[in-house]
Structure 1
Amino acid sequence: MAAMTEPKLISGNANRPLAQAIARRMSMHRGMSVGLVDARVERFNDQEIFVEVYENVRGEDMYIIQPTSNPANDNLMELLIMTDALKRSSADRITAVIPYFGYARQDRRAKARTPISAKLVANLLTEAGVDRVLTLDLHATQIQGFFDIPVDNLYAAPVFALDILHNFKGAREDLMVISPDVGGVARARELAKRIGAPLAIVDKRREKAGEVAGMTVIGEVTGKKCIIVDDICDTAGTLCKAAETLMEAGATEVHAYITHGVLSGPAVERVENSVMKSLVITDSIEPTEEVKNARNIRIVPTAPMFAQAILNTWSGTSVSSLFETDTLVPIYEGLYSTL
């Protein structure tokens, strides 16, 4: 049975352009204006976060759009406090739309006396009053099991596949998908299957954390246009090193498709100076001006996918349908309509 009230969107400060793009896309689908709920999310002089919602949200189906990217702690606290404000204002259901789920890399205890911070964040969100989570490319899919509430994990692979098939029309037989490590093989295999390309692996060896001692290519990449696929690009050191290794192994071109462009520290400079022809990221994290102006970095929008996922969640229809090409092409009309 369809919901009786319209879905309402509210945004923190982490990525307002994405929230506004989602609202515009939902307006197109609904044939009516869907805006962001009027609210203020600000800081006192001591950096305490304060939230005030100016509209009535009693009995409403609320969607908070807030990636927990850098500064991760501030953005996470904004999300928690916004949730509390909506809960105390008698919102009926609160869905946290978290395009980038911070702390996801701390999903297990790799050493003694270390935390599982992703589980802690899941507990905080649930206790604050979140009823459902909608996110994109969790670093580890088992994080869904950290929650006792529904979690919908969207995937960038179907959108990346559309982009690759659109931009490499005349060279599809030369494409090869590359996993930058053994742990990412499942993600790379999914993309390879979608575009009908073979798969290779770059096996890296570390002597200590943060430093790659050596890399080995597992597979034949000679004469291939290599596409590295991963979920997170942080400092880009490993990514650029992998690109160099592939070129040395005989690849003709190296491109990368990374869901979350964290791109901290010297990352953008490294990418621009690397042998990679292009790095494609999504807007799950608000790109800086440096990222926008980088000569070989391109941004793929996620608003069409998130808008449709929110509408499907609100109306009680399938979210997994968004993993299919036939479903994605219409909602990305204008971008990939020539496939």
Structure 2
Amino acid sequence: MYERLTILSGRGNPALATEIAEYLGIGLGHVDASNFPDGEVSVKLNQNVRGCDVFIVQSTSPPVNDNLMELLILIDACRRASAARITAVIPYFGYARQDRKDSGRVPITSKLVANLIVQAGAHRVLAMDLHAAQIQGFFDVPVDHLYAAPILDKHFKSMDIALEDLVIVSPDEGSIKRSLQHQENLGGSLAIVDKRRANALETRQANLIGGPIDGKTALIFDDMITTAGSITGAVKVAREHGARRIYVCATHGVFCGPAVERLNASQVDGLVVSNTCRDASNPLLKNLTTVSVAPLLGEAIRRVHRNESVSYLFD
């Protein structure tokens, strides 16, 4: 059924890669990945990939530089081992925040990383919920951009929240389009938190546009939770405006620095993330639910391998 299909994984998210392979009903490829004493990444493929359609599953979540370098080395190893086609499956794409020059003398790191992946030898890229959709255009190879929204929305639909009690809250103006998609799937009304960034580490939230949310259930959606400053600021605004219950949801649970402390202190009624990042199932987080995107990624891989349409998976 899957002639010459090979799934390989680095150390970025081996559990997700194993789930994908199980969904497809094939074994995960054998890779030895380690580090030299000075920290350099060492990779060896322990199976023949000559003429194979290879999919390398590697999230570039923390440690970002190590995982990114490991992805590049895995691609190079497959290219030099004469793989027929190499697809970089990147559930979480790091270095995505700097996707434009918003001030003088700054880099565009997402374009730089895209160039590195293509130059290493990737023939196509499969990614999920990029921080900015235009990053697809930074690659000079085909990109299949998937969204976790249907899987996340399915979780909340199972809770059977009454539409008149539901408000979809966008944590900032940049997430309005994402929040509108969730509103279309789940129903309810829409509210937007007015967020102002003080610097690279601090944000300030004060006003709420839309609503009202007094006495209602607020669902706050974002693409990622890193230090949780933005999302807990939105939680605070929603609570100050009288939300009865508050649920926080994101595709990528990166959870760096003070994230666990901030999220636990916010006392949200529920926190839902997908398993795109290795540390998404953090046992220290209260009320955390992790949903798997392995079936979605596995189905996309199956369709790409068999040259079938994957467009319906984008919705």
TM-score calculated relative to the size of structure 2: 0.96
The CA deviation at 1:39 is: 1.7
The whole-number CA distance in structure 2 between the counterparts of 1:70 and 1:163 is: 26
Matches within 5 A, 1:179-194: 179-194=170-185
Q: Is the 8 A contact 2:75 2:121 kept in 1?
A: yes
The whole-number CA distance in structure 1 between the counterparts of 2:2 and 2:171 is: 47
Matches within 5 A, 1:19-30: 19-27=17-25
State the partner residue of 1:280.
Answer: 272
State the partner residue of 2:11.
Answer: 13
Q: Is the 8 A contact 2:195 2:205 kept in 1?
A: yes
State the partner residue of 1:30.
Answer: none
What per-residue deviation string (whole Å, max 9, x for no partner) do you get for residues 250-279 of structure 1? 111111110111110111121112131111
The whole-number CA distance in structure 1 between the counterparts of 2:65 and 2:95 is: 10
SS at match of 2:125: strand
SS at match of 1:227: strand
Deviation larger for 64-73 or 155-164: 155-164
State the partner residue of 2:101.
Answer: 109
The whole-number CA distance in structure 1 between the counterparts of 2:32 and 2:163 is: 48
Percent identity over the alignment is 46
Q: Which amino acid aligns with 1:106?
A: Q
SS at match of 2:180: helix
The CA deviation at 1:128 is: 0.5
Moved over 6 A (4+): none
State the partner residue of 1:327.
Answer: none
Q: Is the 8 A contact 1:165 1:172 kept in 2?
A: no
What per-residue deviation string (whole Å, max 9, x for no partner) do you get for residues 222-259 of structure 1? 12100001101111122112111111111111111101
State the partner residue of 1:331.
Answer: none
The CA deviation at 1:288 is: 6.1
Q: Is the 8 A contact 2:10 2:56 kept in 1?
A: yes
The CA deviation at 1:22 is: 0.8
SS at match of 2:178: helix
The CA deviation at 1:185 is: 0.4
- RMSD after superposition: 1.5
Q: Is the 8 A contact 2:254 2:280 kept in 1?
A: no
Q: Which runs of 5+ in 1 are unaligned?
A: 28-33, 325-339
Residue among 283, 292, 316 paired with 2:307: 316
Residue among 232, 235, 241 paired with 2:224: 232
SS at match of 2:162: helix
Q: Is the 8 A contact 1:223 1:251 kept in 2?
A: yes
The CA deviation at 1:89 is: 0.5
The whole-number CA distance in structure 2 between the counterparts of 1:213 and 1:95 is: 40
Matches within 5 A, 1:171-182: 171-182=162-173
The CA deviation at 1:202 is: 0.4
Q: Is the 8 A contact 2:213 2:238 kept in 1?
A: yes
What per-residue deviation string (whole Å, max 9, x for no partner) do you get for residues 82-125 of structure 1? 10000001000000000000001111111100000000000000
SS at match of 1:271: helix
State the partner residue of 2:121.
Answer: 129
Q: Which amino acid aligns with 1:80?
A: L
State the partner residue of 2:256.
Answer: 264
The whole-number CA distance in structure 1 between the counterparts of 2:34 and 2:99 is: 30
May I ask how many residue pairs the two structures share in their alignment?
Answer: 314
Residue among 213, 219, 231 paired with 1:221: 213
State the partner residue of 1:302.
Answer: 293
The whole-number CA distance in structure 1 between the counterparts of 2:204 and 2:52 is: 53
The CA deviation at 1:6 is: 3.5
The whole-number CA distance in structure 2 between the counterparts of 1:273 and 1:263 is: 14
Q: Is the 8 A contact 2:205 2:233 kept in 1?
A: no
Q: State yes or no: 1:58 paired with 2:50.
A: yes
The CA deviation at 1:323 is: 4.2
Residue among 70, 75, 78 paired with 1:78: 70
Deviation larger for 196-205 or 90-99: 196-205
State the partner residue of 1:334.
Answer: none
The CA deviation at 1:38 is: 1.1
Q: Which amino acid aligns with 1:201?
A: I
SS at match of 2:278: coil
TM-score calculated relative to the size of structure 1: 0.89
The whole-number CA distance in structure 2 between the counterparts of 1:256 and 1:120 is: 32
